[in-house]
Amino acid sequence: MRRSTRRTTRTKTTPASTRTQKVSNSKASNKASNKASNTLSDYEKARLKQISENNAYLVSLKLNESRSAIQASCSTLTANVRSKKRHAQRKRKRTPTLPTRRSRRAKAMPPVVYTPQTADDDRQQAGVQINADIKKGFRDTNGVWRGEKFGHVDGVKVGTVFGAGDYQRQGRFEMARTGFFKPAVTPEWIDTKTKEVYSVVVNNDNGLSKDSGNVIVYAGAGGRNRGQNRTATQSYDQTWDSATNAALRRNQQSGRAVRVIRGPKCNSNYGTARTGGGYRYDGLFIVAKAELIPTGRRKLLTAFFTLRKI
């Protein structure tokens, strides 16, 4: 025989203290809501009223249920997309299998041994290059570049053009490679011993230099922010503390001439832009004057050097 089981429902009884506490809490919340409603502006009250009317209208059209269904479907779609992404990531983490085929020819070859180059190897290569430059006449027999001297350079006549036909930097690279003017960027070549200038390249600046052929008023260096070249406008005063300005000033004091080279971007009629480009050696010039002169609208001090052809 089967025993009949009866379910007994027990009603929970709440004590009177709890009921009184709930009533007091509801009254307090009603008071707080009334207080908050009193503090709301007219616009906020009208807005809340409109929202409640809209919700009631949606309930009358039974659209609130469809909205909840749409939200549930969107959450399900988002979960599916996330699971697909996780599955794809797990696939990417798999390590590729090693190739099964191997080349017999490559297997029979001896393994490659890489020997790092030492400092002795570097010195040996440098010595070989120096000997090659000496044979070509780019260096003296003691290994010094042929342009590391004051005055004319043997084998380079006045009017010689380096990088003919080019209007950019090919001439600078050619002069550096052959030792006539070693610096590839700066327009002055300064002697490390006397701290004077061997030669200058008159090519381009911010327009302060003036070239009239036999006389060149050469603008100095400095007075610009770090990283700016001489084509930028001057920002503050130049001084004799600049290595370039101090070196050319020493040339003016000692009387040693500088070699002048004009380039294709020389801001005058004596550049090489009209004669086929390149960098042309135009002879020796003495530094007749070295002075600081106020220039521009702000009257900033600029170093000017008057170069006169010998």
Tokens at 176, concatenated: 């550096």
Q: How confident is the model at residue 7 (pLDDT cuts 50, 70, 90)?
A: very low
- Asked whether residue 5 carries a pLDDT value surpassing 70, the answer given is no
For residue 195, which of 153, 249, 147, 259 has the smallest C-alpha distance?
249
Among residues 32, 56, 78, which one ends one of the domains? 78
Task: Tell me, yes or no, whether 89 lies in a domain.
Answer: no
Give the Cα separation of 151 and 140 in Å (integer): 15
Q: What is the pLDDT of residue 270?
A: 94
* Same domain, residue pair 290 and 198: yes
Tell me if the pTM is above 0.85: no
Looking at the domain assignment, is residue 171 inside a domain? yes
152: domain CATH number?
2.30.280.10
Residue 44 has pLDDT above 70, yes or no: yes
CA nearest neighbour of 258 among 208, 218, 203, 301: 218
The answer on 282 and 203 residing in a single domain is yes
Looking at the structure of the chain, the number of domains it has is 2
Is 135 a domain residue?
no
Residues 70 and 215 in one domain: no
Same domain, 163 and 268: yes
Q: Give a yes or no: residue 150 inside a domain.
A: yes
- What percent of the chain clears pLDDT 70, i.e. is strictly above it? 82
Residue 21 lies in a domain: no
User: Do residues 70 and 200 both lie within one domain?
Assistant: no
Count CB neighbours of 236 within 10 A. Answer: 12
Higher pLDDT, 2 or 273: 273
Contact partners, residue 249, CB within 8 Å, separation at least 6: 240, 287, 290, 305
Query: Which structural domain range is residue 153 located in?
Result: 144-309
Domain end position, chosen among 29, 58, 78 = 78
pLDDT at 288 over 90: yes
Same-domain pairing of 185 and 288: yes
Which range scores top for mean pLDDT: 27-31, 76-80, 153-157? 153-157
Arithmetic mean of pLDDT, 83-111? 74
Other Cβ atoms closer than 10 A to 206: 17
Domain annotation covers residue 70: yes
Tokens 């809490």 belong to: 25
Name the token pair of 122.
């570097």
> Could you tell me the CA-to-CA distances from 147 to 63, 125, 168, 181, 184 in Å, in that order?
92, 22, 22, 6, 13
Q: What is the pLDDT averaged over residues 92-96?
A: 65
Confidence of residue 247 (pLDDT cuts 50, 70, 90): very high
Between 9 and 307, residue with greater pLDDT: 307
A 10 A CB-CB count for 263 gives 24
Are 301 and 160 found together in one domain? yes
Measured from the Cβ of residue 14, the count of other Cβ atoms closer than 10 Å reads 9
Asked if residue 162 and residue 249 are part of one domain, the reply reads: yes
Q: Please report the pLDDT score of residue 173 as a whole number.
A: 96
SS3 letters across the chain: CCCCCCCCCCCCCCCHHHHHHHHHHHHHHHHHHHHHHHHCCHHHHHHHHHHHHHHHHHHHCCHHHHHHHHHHHHHHHHHHHHHHHHHHHHHHCCCCCCCCCCCHHHHHCCCCCCCCCCHHHHHHHHHHHHHHHHHHCCECCCCCECCCCCCCCCCCCCCCEECCCCCCCHHHHHHHHHCCCCCCCCCEEECCCCCCEEEEEECCCCCCCEECCCEEEEECCCCCCCCCCCCCCCCCCCCCCCHHHHHHHHHHHHCCCEEEEECCCCCCCCCCCCCCCCEEEEEEEEEEEEEEEEECCCCEEEEEEEEEEC
Residue 34 vs residue 77, higher pLDDT: 77
Which tens digits make up the pLDDT trace of 146-198?
A: 999 999 999 999 999 999 999 999 999 999 999 999 999 999 999 999 999 99
Q: What is the pLDDT of residue 55?
A: 84
**Higher-confidence residue: 172 or 100?**
172
Residue 97 to residue 115: CA distance in whole angstroms: 32
The pair of three-digit structure tokens given for residue 93, joined into one six-digit string: 């983490």
189 located within any domain: yes
74 and 184 in a single domain? The answer is: no
Could you say which of 78, 99, 134 is where a domain stops? 78
Is 296 a member of any domain? yes
Do 297 and 195 belong together in one domain?
yes
